[in-house]
Amino acid sequence: MPYASSEELLVEFEENILTITLNRPDRMNAISGPMLSALSDTLQTANIDPDVRVIVFTGSGRGFCAGLDLKDQMASGSNATGRAGYRLFDLHNSPPIVINRMDKPMICALNGAAAGYGMDMALGCDIRIASEHAKMGAVFAKRGVLPESGGCWYLPRLLGWAKAAEVAFLGEVLDAQRSLELGLVNKVVPHDQLMPETMKMARAIAKNAPLSVQSTKRMMRLGMDEPFEAAVDHIYLQLLPLFGSEDFKEGLSSFAERREPVFKGR
């Protein structure tokens, strides 16, 4: 499927990996209204594109994403407490909701600060690899708001209740090492190794059977809100079509023949 870049959202596709880069470095990649729509559209297209096996999400310049660009809204005459403001914060079909629905695995290459909406989007990704310069700006309580775009849901699941409460209630900026200690990121790497390390992991995931990876992600996501027995039943029903796939046969054949599998996503 064709993917179009714009000045504010760069999209690249190579080796079954779709890389999406927020590109407003002068505004620390704060998300404008057009970026919201473009990002959601790109993600939804990628989720049904059989050629896309992994999505890498990152930002340009010094920051990952400073959140929603409220200054642009105010400059355009929008009132954050009126109908225009309500539309801005209406999460229907917004990036955090779309990210949560994704079956394709998503890796966030956290190149710098992620705050507000940006932090919530980063938490929605499956894996987070952080530059040594990265920061998580969990400062909602210091701004008189709350993690409105997924953070209230993700933090207790990622950290447990007590640590999530500590992060949310204190409203501090967490550097890369502290984020790693808490479990908010998977690993921290030197800044110049961020994209090489991220792409190395993305390529390793992309080599695996894509239908298997996507089914596993879906069952993990749905299983978060299911009792154990219901989850087992749903997993079995998800497993049946995989048994009939070409990739399942390739997995068995490559194991028997002691060679690397070549999966086609069919």
Q: What is the pTM of this model?
A: 0.90
Q: How confident is the model at residue 146 (pLDDT cuts 50, 70, 90)?
A: confident
Cβ-based neighbours of 231, under 8 Å, separated by 6 or more: 219, 222, 223
User: Does residue 126 have a pLDDT over 80?
Assistant: yes
Q: How confident is the model at residue 4 (pLDDT cuts 50, 70, 90)?
A: confident
pLDDT digits (tens, 9 = 90+) for 25-80: 999 999 998 999 999 999 999 999 999 999 999 999 999 999 888 666 555 544 44
Same fold, 9-206 and 210-256: no
Give the three-class secondary structure for 182: helix
The pLDDT value recorded for residue 249 is: 93
The pLDDT value recorded for residue 119 is: 94
**Mean pLDDT rounded to a whole number for the chain:** 91
pLDDT digits (tens, 9 = 90+) for 206-225: 999 999 999 999 999 999 88
- Which range has the worst mean pLDDT, 5-14, 66-75, 138-147, 229-238? 66-75
- What value does the mean pLDDT take over residues 106-126? 96
DSSP for 45-88? HHHT-TT--EEEEEESTTEEE--B-HHHHHHTT--TTSHHHHHH
Is residue 128 within 8 Å of residue 71, measured between CB atoms? no
pLDDT digits (tens, 9 = 90+) for 83-98: 554 455 556 788 989 9
The pLDDT value recorded for residue 80 is: 47
Selection from 91, 126, 92 nearest residue 220 by Cα:
126
Taking domain 9-206, whether its CATH number is 3.90.226.10 is answered by yes
Cβ-based neighbours of 179, under 8 Å, separated by 6 or more: 130, 134, 135, 136, 185, 188
Percent of the chain with pLDDT over 70: 92
Using CA atoms, how far apart are residues 95 and 49, in angstroms rounded to an integer? Answer: 18
Q: What does the buried/exposed string (b/e) look like for 68-96 if buried means 16 or more CB atoms within 10 Å of the residue's CB?
A: bbeebbeeeebeeeeeeeeebeeeeebbb
Domain ranges for the chain, please list them: 9-206, 210-256
Looking at per-residue confidence, does 144 or 201 come out higher? 201
The pLDDT value recorded for residue 90 is: 58
Using CA atoms, how far apart are residues 264 and 259, in angstroms rounded to an integer? Answer: 16
**Which CATH number does 210-256 carry?**
1.10.12
Output Rg (C-alpha) for the chain, integer angstroms.
19
The pLDDT value recorded for residue 81 is: 47
| Ramachandran area for residue 61 (φ above 0: left; ψ -120 to 50: alpha; else beta) | left
**What's phi and psi for 105, nearest 5 deg?**
-65, 140
